[in-house]
Chain A
Amino acid sequence: MAAEGSGAPRNFATTRWSLILTSADLEGDDRKAQQALSELCRLYWRPIFSFVCRRGHSAEDAQDLTQDFFLMILEGNWLRHADPARGRFRSLLLKSLGNFLNDAAEKRHARKRGGDVQFVSWDEWMAEAPSRLTISARALDSWPAERLFDLRWAATVVEQALRRLREECESQGKLRAFEALSPCLGAEREDVSYPTLSQTLGVPEITVKRLVHRLRQRYRSLLRDEVAETVADPAEVDDEIRHLCGILAASAEAS
Chain B
Amino acid sequence: MKNFSPGLSDSIASVIADPALCPHCDSSSHIAGGLCVGCLLQSGLAPDDECAAETLVSALAEITLPDKNWRLGNYEILEEIGRGGMGVIYRARQRHSRRIVALKRVLGYHADSRETLARFRREAQAAASLDHPNILPIYEVSESEDGLPFFSMKFAPGGSLQEVGPALKNDPRQCVALVAKVARAVQHAHAKGILHRDLKPGNILLDAHGEPLVSDFGLAKWLDTTSDLTRTLTIFGTPGYIAPEQASGPAAELKPAADVYSLGAILFDLLAGRPPFLGSHALSVIRQASETTAPKLRTLSKVADRDLETICSRCLEREPSARYRSAHDLAEDLERWLAGRPIIARRILPPVRIWRWAKRTPKLAGSVAACIALGIAAVLWQIESHSLSAAVREDQLTARSIAVLPFLDLDHGRADATFAVRIASSLQTNLSRLALTRIIPILQAGSSLAGTGSLQDIKEATRNSKVRAILTGTKRIVDGKLRLSIRLINAATGEVLLTQSLETNPGGASALEAERAVEQNVNSILNMSDWSALDPVTPDPGVKNLRAREFIVSGRELMLRQTVETFDKSIVCLERAIELEPLSALAHAYLATAACSRTYFISDERFLQRAELEAKEAVRLNPNLPDSHRALAGVAHRNGRFLEALEEQFRAVELAGPEERIAGFIGMTLDTLQKPERALGWYEMARHWETRPGTNDACIGKCWAKLGDDLQAEHAYRRAADLRPEISQGWVGLCHLRLLQGDLDAARALYQEHGPRFKGDNDAEQMAAQLAFFARSYHEAKRLYSELEKRDSRGGTSYDTEISYGSVLGRINQALGDSTDSRAMLEHSRSRELAALKTAPNSPAISYRLAAIHASLGDTDIAFQHLHSAVANGWIDYRTLRIDPRFDSIAGDFRFREIIAHLASKVAVLRRQTDQPTRMVFNGGNTSP
What is the interface of chain A, defined by CB distance below 8 A to chain B? 4-6, 10, 46, 49-50, 53, 59-60, 63, 118, 121-124, 126-127, 130-137, 139-140, 148, 151-152, 154-155, 157-159, 161-162, 168-169, 172-177, 179-180, 182-183, 185-188, 193, 196, 199-203, 207, 210-211, 214-221, 223-224, 227, 237-238, 241-242, 244-245, 248-251
Q: Are B40 and A185 in contact (CB under 8 A)?
A: yes
Q: Are A134 and B29 in contact (CB under 8 A)?
A: yes
Residue B26 lies at the interface, judged by CB distance under 8 Å to chain A: yes
CB distance from A114 to the nearest CB of B (A): 11
Q: Are A49 and B235 in contact (CB under 8 A)?
A: no
Complex Cα distance A227/B212, Å? Answer: 48
CB distance from B723 to the nearest CB of A (A): 49
| Subset of 29 A-B contacts with CB under 8 Å | A53-B12, A123-B235, A123-B281, A127-B226, A127-B229, A132-B85, A133-B30, A134-B30, A135-B29, A137-B2, A137-B17, A139-B28, A152-B12, A162-B35, A168-B56, A173-B66, A182-B33, A186-B35, A200-B146, A214-B59, A215-B56, A217-B49, A217-B50, A217-B56, A218-B53, A223-B41, A227-B44, A245-B25, A248-B26
Within 8 A of A (CB), among B44-62: 44-53, 55-57, 59-62
CB distance from B289 to the nearest CB of A (A): 14
Residues of B within 8 A of A188 (CB): 24
Complex Cα distance A148/B12, Å? Answer: 9
Residue B293 lies at the interface, judged by CB distance under 8 Å to chain A: no
Within 8 A of A (CB), among B291-308: none
CB distance from B712 to the nearest CB of A (A): 34
CB distance from B95 to the nearest CB of A (A): 15
Q: CB-defined interface of B225-247 with A at 8 Å, one 1/0 digit per residue?
A: 01001001101100000000000
Q: Are B12 and A134 in contact (CB under 8 A)?
A: no
Q: Are A175 and B67 in contact (CB under 8 A)?
A: yes
Residues of B within 8 A of A175 (CB): 67, 80
Residue B290 lies at the interface, judged by CB distance under 8 Å to chain A: no
What is the interface of chain B, defined by CB distance below 8 A to chain A? 1-2, 5, 7-8, 10-19, 21-22, 24-53, 55-57, 59-67, 69-71, 77, 80, 84-86, 88, 107-108, 110, 145-146, 226, 229, 232-233, 235-236, 280-284, 287
Residues of B within 8 A of A172 (CB): 57, 60-61
Q: Are A133 and B41 in contact (CB under 8 A)?
A: no
Knowing A127-B232, A241-B44, say if A196 contacts B11 (CB, 8 Å).
no
Complex Cα distance A124/B14, Å? Answer: 20
Knowing A127-B232, A136-B19, A137-B2, say if A168 contacts B57 (CB, 8 Å).
yes
Q: Are A134 and B44 in contact (CB under 8 A)?
A: no
Knowing A183-B34, A220-B46, say if A133 contacts B25 (CB, 8 Å).
no
Complex Cα distance A227/B42, Å? Answer: 12
Residues of A within 8 A of B65 (CB): 201-202
Q: Are A59 and B7 in contact (CB under 8 A)?
A: yes
Q: Are B39 and A139 in contact (CB under 8 A)?
A: no
Residue with the greatest number of chain B CB neighbours at <10 A, chosen from A130, A139, A155, A196: A130
Q: Are A60 and B283 in contact (CB under 8 A)?
A: yes
Residue of A nearest to B145 (CB): A196
Complex Cα distance A152/B11, Å? Answer: 9
Identify which of A63, A162, A215 contacts B283 (C-beta below 8 A): A63
Residue of B nearest to A224 (CB): B44
Q: Is the interface of A mostly helix, strand, loop or mixed?
A: helix
CB distance from B36 to the nearest CB of A (A): 5
Knowing A50-B12, A134-B110, A216-B43, say if A176 contacts B29 (CB, 8 Å).
no
Knowing A123-B282, A133-B14, A211-B59, say if A220 contacts B35 (CB, 8 Å).
no
Complex Cα distance A148/B236, Å? Answer: 22
CB distance from B415 to the nearest CB of A (A): 32
Complex Cα distance A184/B51, Å? Answer: 17
Known pairs A245-B41, A250-B28; list 18 more (Cβ under 8 Å): A5-B47, A46-B11, A50-B12, A126-B10, A130-B10, A134-B30, A135-B29, A154-B41, A161-B40, A168-B56, A174-B63, A177-B63, A211-B59, A217-B50, A218-B51, A248-B26, A249-B38, A251-B26
Complex Cα distance A122/B28, Å? Answer: 27
Residues of B within 8 A of A218 (CB): 51, 53, 55-56
Residue of A nearest to B58 (CB): A214
Q: Are B62 and A207 in contact (CB under 8 A)?
A: yes
Complex Cα distance A244/B40, Å? Answer: 11
Complex Cα distance A174/B26, Å? Answer: 32
Complex Cα distance A251/B44, Å? Answer: 21
Closest 6 CB pairs of A and B: A217-B51, A123-B232, A132-B32, A214-B59, A127-B232, A248-B27
Q: Are A214 and B110 in contact (CB under 8 A)?
A: no
Identify which of B1, B11, B26, B33 contacts A250 (C-beta below 8 A): B26
Complex Cα distance A162/B39, Å? Answer: 13
Complex Cα distance A211/B628, Å? Answer: 64
Residues of A within 8 A of B17 (CB): 136-137
Q: Are A183 and B226 in contact (CB under 8 A)?
A: no
Residues of A within 8 A of B37 (CB): 133, 151, 154-155, 158, 248
Residues of B within 8 A of A169 (CB): 56, 60
Residues of B within 8 A of A131 (CB): 10-11, 31, 85
Residues of B within 8 A of A126 (CB): 10-11, 232, 235-236
Complex Cα distance A158/B25, Å? Answer: 15
CB distance from B31 to the nearest CB of A (A): 5
CB distance from A78 to the nearest CB of B (A): 23
Residue of B nearest to A192 (CB): B146
Q: Are B71 and A200 in contact (CB under 8 A)?
A: yes
CB distance from B87 to the nearest CB of A (A): 11
Knowing A177-B63, A202-B64, A248-B41, say if A132 contacts B31 (CB, 8 Å).
yes
Identify which of A122, A174, A196 contacts B146 (C-beta below 8 A): A196
Knowing A200-B146, A201-B63, A220-B51, say if A187 contacts B43 (CB, 8 Å).
yes
CB distance from B361 to the nearest CB of A (A): 22
Residues of A within 8 A of B50 (CB): 6, 10, 217, 221
Q: Are B41 and A130 in contact (CB under 8 A)?
A: no
CB distance from B815 to the nearest CB of A (A): 53
Complex Cα distance A238/B592, Å? Answer: 87
CB distance from A217 to the nearest CB of B (A): 3
Q: Are B30 and A223 in contact (CB under 8 A)?
A: no
Q: Are A134 and B41 in contact (CB under 8 A)?
A: no
Knowing A132-B31, A134-B14, A220-B48, say if A122 contacts B280 (CB, 8 Å).
yes
Residues of B within 8 A of A177 (CB): 60, 63
Residue of A nearest to B284 (CB): A60
Q: Are A124 and B232 in contact (CB under 8 A)?
A: yes
Q: Are B13 and A211 in contact (CB under 8 A)?
A: no
Q: Are B28 and A155 in contact (CB under 8 A)?
A: no
Knowing A63-B283, A155-B31, say if A248 contacts B38 (CB, 8 Å).
yes
Complex Cα distance A133/B61, Å? Answer: 32
Complex Cα distance A227/B43, Å? Answer: 13
Knowing A59-B283, A137-B16, say if A185 contacts B43 (CB, 8 Å).
yes
Q: Are A136 and B53 in contact (CB under 8 A)?
A: no
Residues of A within 8 A of B35 (CB): 158, 162, 182-183, 185-186
Identify which of B1, B51, B233 contacts A123 (C-beta below 8 A): B233
Complex Cα distance A211/B2, Å? Answer: 39
CB distance from A14 to the nearest CB of B (A): 17
Q: Are B287 and A139 in contact (CB under 8 A)?
A: no
Q: Are B41 and A159 in contact (CB under 8 A)?
A: no
Complex Cα distance A133/B77, Å? Answer: 28
Residue with the greatest number of chain B CB neighbours at <10 A, chosen from A157, A158, A237: A158
Complex Cα distance A86/B22, Å? Answer: 34
Residues of A within 8 A of B287 (CB): 60
Knowing A50-B11, A132-B85, A173-B66, say if A250 contacts B27 (CB, 8 Å).
yes
CB distance from A4 to the nearest CB of B (A): 8
Identify which of B11, B40, B42, B145 contacts A162 (C-beta below 8 A): B40
